[in-house]
Amino acid sequence: MEFTRGEISVLEQIAKGNKSLKEIALALKKSEPQVYVYVKNLANKSLIELINGNIEPNRIAYLSLLLQLLSKIPNLIPVLEGPGIPIFTAMLKPSTIEEISSETGYRKTAIYKRLQEARKRSLVRKKITTFEINDKMWAGLKETLDEIRKSELKTDKRIPASAIIYYKKNDEIVFSSKEDLDAVKTAFSAYQDYGIGLLTITHFYYLPKKNLTKENILTHSLYIVEKDVDTRYLIFIALFYAKYKKEFKINHPILANINTILEGGEVKGYPKYQEIKDRAEVYNIEV
């Protein structure tokens, strides 16, 4: 979630109690049409409503926390504007600049510059090679970022409100929906293209639209099972994995457990070898 300097400035004014276009324009020394553009952008993000020239923030947990933060901490705008919030959200756990870059897609130089700004305000602390939110001094910041992340993982404007999100990073998203959508079918919904028919009332999708490799499809299957542990799904992952095992270079605990089962062992919560073998025979897959 990114905010321009103008949008953050408007939110800061709302946090200070200024809720009319005229008041905010005077405070920011901007024209009302300029401020209206910022307000319109925030309204398009479903954060505020503009009614007869007055602004009302919507009742959203992370927005309330963000407004509280902006009212308490002076001069946060240079830190939070643009890539600020995504960068700090990636630091909810200690992370290196390389890890933050991988998570957000931003260049290391841009990340380093923003971290330097944050360290001047003691918002961030460094431990050898990793950076983390200084929650001892700014616990409210970490709580706000955590709520923003939770919200982002639950919603996306590109998909129906009823859809379930399993993975989201930058512009990539793996989700399920009972609706037929203009998106790429992945995970269990794509297995039928590889000779493994699986009937489900839910479709599994990926965006943005692109051609997916078998490794993409298996990875997306693992994202789903990480959040929705289902024995049936584990069996079909085992079949897909066994059929194309030589083509995969994925290290994952779920696949390690499946390997243990395929070698004759047992893992609590996982299907037995015979269950996988019986289903494999239906699709002529050697396990």
In our burial notation (b when 16+ CB lie closer than 10 A, e otherwise), range 146-173 reads ebbbeebeeebeebeeebebbbbeeeeb
Query: Are 184 and 275 members of one domain?
Result: yes
Q: How many angstroms separate the Cα of 46 from the Cα of each of 40, 49, 50, 52, 260?
A: 10, 8, 11, 17, 48
Query: Are 17 and 126 members of one domain?
Result: yes
Query: Are 13 and 129 members of one domain?
Result: yes
Residue finishing a domain among 133, 150, 185: 133
Largest CA distance in the chain: 74
Query: Are 277 and 219 members of one domain?
Result: yes
CA torsion sign for 66, 67, 69, 74 is positive
Q: 251 CB contacts (<8 Å, ≥6 apart)?
A: none
Query: Are 117 and 186 members of one domain?
Result: no
Which CATH number fits the domain that encloses residue 26?
Answer: 1.10.10
Q: Please check whether residue 149 lies inside any domain of the structure.
A: no
One-letter amino acid of 273: Y
Query: Are 170 and 123 members of one domain?
Result: no
Per-residue confidence in pLDDT tens, the chain, 287 aa = 889 999 999 999 999 999 899 999 999 999 999 999 999 999 988 899 988 888 999 988 899 999 998 998 878 898 899 999 999 999 989 999 999 998 888 999 999 999 998 888 888 989 889 999 988 878 788 899 999 988 887 778 889 988 999 998 878 999 999 999 999 999 999 999 999 988 788 999 999 999 999 999 999 999 999 998 899 999 999 999 999 998 998 999 999 999 999 999 999 999 999 999 999 999 999 88
Number of domains within the chain: 2
Peptide bond before 33: cis, by omega within 30 degrees of 0?
no
Q: Please check whether residue 98 lies inside any domain of the structure.
A: yes
Distance between CA 27 and CA 88 in Å, rounded? 28
Query: Are 10 and 96 members of one domain?
Result: yes
Q: How many angstroms separate the Cα of 49 from the Cα of each of 9, 21, 117, 241?
A: 16, 12, 32, 49
State the DSSP H helix or E strand holding residue 176, giving kind and residue range, or none if neither.
strand 172-177
Question: pTM above 0.85?
Answer: no
Q: 277 CB contacts (<8 Å, ≥6 apart)?
A: 287
Residue 7 φ/ψ, nearest 5 degrees: -65, -45
Q: Please check whether residue 28 lies inside any domain of the structure.
A: yes
Q: Which two tokens stand for residue 196?
A: 């493994």
Query: Are 56 and 119 members of one domain?
Result: yes
- Domain of residue 254, residue span: 164-282
Q: How many CA atoms lie within 13 A of 199 on its CB side?
A: 0
